[in-house]
């Protein structure tokens, strides 16, 4: 009996000691918070509570001043001459996800605006400070990210704004100048209330997306293609799109010729991506289409020289090219295999090659389809597996031109990945053949302007990656872009078909002439 009493006493003493340690730890952490964030207290829910009495008093004094007619300025998208956009993130997520979003912005060298609700910011001041330290703007989203402010009373709106101003000021030591109201039809009343709370600018976003907007890169690319230059894109981190924010868009799946899919079904994710995945897809699509992301205060700068410099070619694919050689004679293309899409197929339609040439060229084809040995229809009811067709040949020289279709509906990284796999397969299948990789030719000025996924700037950029890949794989790069571009870096209308992408007969003649004057000495490349 005495032993039981001793055990009970020991357990009680242990629990008492544990309780004392917990209380001490709580007091210690509270003091650390107070040291880092003056004028705050910590309540039972571990939320930092800021004294907003000063901000509230000033806001309501402005509100009751009959002579005060100030309104916050609306920051709106506009029709820009350059293809540039601004990004605004509304709401906040977990610290981990917010750090991932900020890391992605840094990776793409992008600065954005983050409109944060006061309650979440008070619970996670470190993330708010991280946003500011990385050079981004912090704005006011109301105390709880309230929706449809046009239905709220003046006092409710003003209190929410003033309290959020107090939270942000205590954290960052600066008062936000930008605000955005969640799913709200903004009017002069709201703009006046914003000004009373000390806010100068109201962000009027042009497009809205959230974590359900894209299931893959293709959809992100389709979204970006429809976004006009000068737009403000709002990414709702923690909320659904309201009816007034939702706008359907079409995915541009137009390949160079014929409308066929260029992404396999097993590559499409069946699950909804996290917000970080959505942000990554959006940033990659913006970068792929050479859409500059600029801070809000630079959106209306015309012309913006930083935008021009951002997409200047840092490297030239021609630096990796096979040097000019003496023009090869008749019979050079004997025992040659041309692999490609409809651009290459055009060479077989026109009388531009007199030699006995083999073709494995198909409309709307991509490297991935060769790698996956995709079956395609070549005539009525007849299908062929395209890699099997390649393996039936016995070439000494192989010329490859792929990319126009892949760029029309896929990412640069996916295209290069599958292109590299295709080259590895060809080297294994034909170890003694010399392989020439042709750069993607330019498109006409009209196409480059109207189809953002096929701009000549993007083509020049991906050609650098193609050239590097060719060199690393021991292949030989032919800069077909330089061969066919005019002084404006576009495909001349005189050698283009009506679609502005394919070459006509004269264009094909110039193409072949360039290949014949850029050759290596023998099949070993020596």
Report pLDDT digits (tens) over 223-275: 998 898 899 999 999 778 887 776 544 434 444 444 333 333 344 344 556 89
0.75 cut: is pTM over it?
A: no
Closest CA to 274 of 510, 93, 419, 138: 93
Q: Which residue has the tokens 């009970």?
A: 8
Would you state the pLDDT for residue 270? 46
Backbone angles phi, psi at 111, to 5 degrees: -115, 140
What's 494's DSSP letter? G
The owner of tokens 């890391």 is 103
Selection from 225, 121, 129 nearest residue 165 by Cα: 121
Q: How far is the CA of 36 from the CAs of 48, 51, 298, in angstroms?
A: 11, 15, 33
pLDDT (tens digit, 9 = 90+) per residue, 8-20?
666 667 666 766 6
pLDDT tens by residue, 491-518: 999 999 999 999 999 999 999 999 999 9
| pLDDT per residue as tens digits for the range 159-204 | 999 999 999 999 999 999 999 999 999 999 999 999 999 999 999 9
Q: pLDDT value at position 458?
A: 85
Structure tokens belonging to residue 485: 């571009």
Task: Please enumerate in sequence order all residues whose Cβ is within 8 A of that of 359, keeping only pairs 6 or more positions apart, or say none.
Answer: 337, 338, 344, 345, 347, 348
Does residue 7 register a pLDDT over 70? no
Q: Is pLDDT above 60 for 471?
A: yes
Counts for the chain of helices (H) and strands (E), in that order: 19, 18
pLDDT at 243: 75
Contacts of 379-385 spanning 24+ positions with Cβ under 8 A = none
SS3 for 131-161, per residue? HHHCCCEEEECCCCCCECHHHCCHHHHHHHH
* Sign, Cα dihedral of 170, 176, 181, 186: positive
* Cα(373)–Cα(167) distance, integer angstroms: 59
Distance CA 255, CA 404 (A): 7
Phi, psi (rounded to 5 degrees) for 496:
-110, 150
Q: How confident is the model at residue 413 (pLDDT cuts 50, 70, 90)?
A: confident
What structural domains and CATH numbers belong to the chain?
A: 53-310 (3.20.20.370), 317-516 (3.40.50.1110)
From residue 283, give the alpha-carbon distance in Å to each of 57, 133, 288.
42, 21, 8
Considering only 161-170, 315-324, 404-413, which range has the smallest mean pLDDT?
404-413
Q: Residue 413 and residue 281: Cα distance in Å, rounded?
A: 12
Which residues make beta-bridge pairs with 496?
503
Residues 6+ apart with CB under 8 A from 314: none
Q: Are 502 and 256 in contact (CB under 8 A)?
A: yes
Name which residue leads in pLDDT, 195 or 1.
Answer: 195
Each residue's pLDDT tens digit, 423-444: 999 999 999 999 999 999 999 9
| Model confidence pLDDT, tens digit, residues 27-53 | 554 454 444 444 443 333 345 567 899
Tell me the H-state helices in 53-176.
Answer: 53-64, 95-107, 118-123, 125-133, 154-172
Q: What integer is the mean pLDDT of 114-118?
A: 97
pLDDT at site 256: 47
Q: Which residues are CB-neighbours of 395 under 8 A, at least 6 positions away? A: 335, 336, 337, 358, 430, 433
- What burial class does residue 45 get, using C-beta atoms within 10 Å of its C-beta: 0-12 exposed, 13-18 middle, 19+ buried? exposed
Residue 182 is classified by DSSP as B
Measured CA angle at 232 (ends 289, 98), to 5 deg: 85
What's the pLDDT score for residue 273? 64
């Amino acid at each position: 009996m005495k032993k039981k009493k001793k055990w009970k006493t020991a357990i009680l003493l242990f629990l008492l000691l544990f309780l004392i340690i917990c209380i001490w730890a709580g007091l210690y952490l509270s003091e650390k918070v107070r040291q880092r964030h003056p004028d705050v207290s910590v309540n039972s829910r571990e939320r930092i509570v800021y004294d907003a009495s000063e901000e509230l008093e000033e806001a309501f004094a402005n509100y009751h001043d009959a002579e005060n007619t100030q309104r916050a300025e609306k920051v709106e998208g506009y029709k820009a001459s350059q293809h540039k956009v601004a990004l605004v993130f509304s709401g906040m997520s977990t610290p981990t996800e917010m750090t991932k979003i900020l890391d992605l912005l840094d990776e793409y060298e992008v600065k954005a605006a983050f409109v944060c609700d006061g309650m979440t910011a008070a619970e996670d001041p470190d993330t708010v400070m991280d946003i500011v330290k990385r050079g981004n703007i912090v704005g006011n989203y109301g105390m709880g990210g309230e929706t449809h402010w046009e239905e709220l009373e003046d006092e409710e709106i003003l209190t929410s704004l003033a309290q959020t101003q107090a939270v942000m000021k205590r954290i960052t030591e600066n008062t936000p100048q930008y605000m955005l109201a969640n799913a709200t039809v903004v009017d002069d009343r709201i703009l006046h209330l914003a000004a009373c709370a000390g806010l100068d600018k109201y962000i009027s976003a042009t497009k809205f997306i959230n974590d359900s907007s894209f299931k893959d890169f293709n959809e992100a690319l389709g979204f970006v293609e429809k976004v006009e230059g000068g737009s403000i894109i709002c990414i709702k981190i923690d909320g659904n799109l309201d009816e007034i924010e939702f706008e359907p868009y079409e995915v541009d799946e137009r390949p160079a010729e014929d409308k066929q899919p260029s992404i396999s079904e097993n590559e499409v994710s069946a699950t909804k991506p996290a917000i970080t995945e959505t942000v990554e897809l959006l940033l990659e699509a913006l970068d792929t289409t050479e859409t500059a992301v600029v801070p809000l205060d630079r959106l209306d700068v015309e012309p913006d020289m930083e935008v021009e410099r951002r997409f200047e070619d840092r490297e030239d694919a021609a630096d990796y090219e096979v040097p000019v050689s003496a023009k090869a004679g008749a019979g050079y293309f004997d025992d040659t295999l041309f692999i490609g899409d409809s651009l290459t197929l055009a060479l077989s339609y026109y009388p531009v090659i007199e030699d006995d040439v083999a073709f494995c060229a198909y409309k709307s084809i991509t490297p991935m389809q060769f790698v996956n040995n995709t079956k395609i229809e070549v005539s009525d009811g007849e299908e062929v597996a395209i890699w099997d067709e390649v393996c039936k040949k016995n070439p000494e020289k192989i010329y490859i031109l792929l990319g126009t279709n892949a760029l029309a509906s896929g990412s640069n990284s996916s295209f290069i990945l599958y292109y590299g796999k295709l080259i590895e397969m060809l080297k294994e299948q034909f170890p003694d053949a010399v392989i020439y990789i042709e750069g993607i030719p330019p498109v006409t000025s009209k196409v480059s302007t109207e189809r953002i996924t096929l701009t000549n700037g993007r083509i020049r950029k991906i050609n650098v990656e193609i050239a590097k890949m060719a060199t690393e794989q021991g292949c030989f790069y032919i800069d077909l872009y330089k061969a066919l571009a005019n002084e404006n870096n576009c495909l001349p209308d005189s050698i283009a078909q009506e679609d502005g992408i394919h070459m006509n007969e004269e264009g094909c003649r110039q193409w072949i002439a360039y290949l014949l004057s850029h050759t290596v000495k023998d099949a070993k490349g020596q």
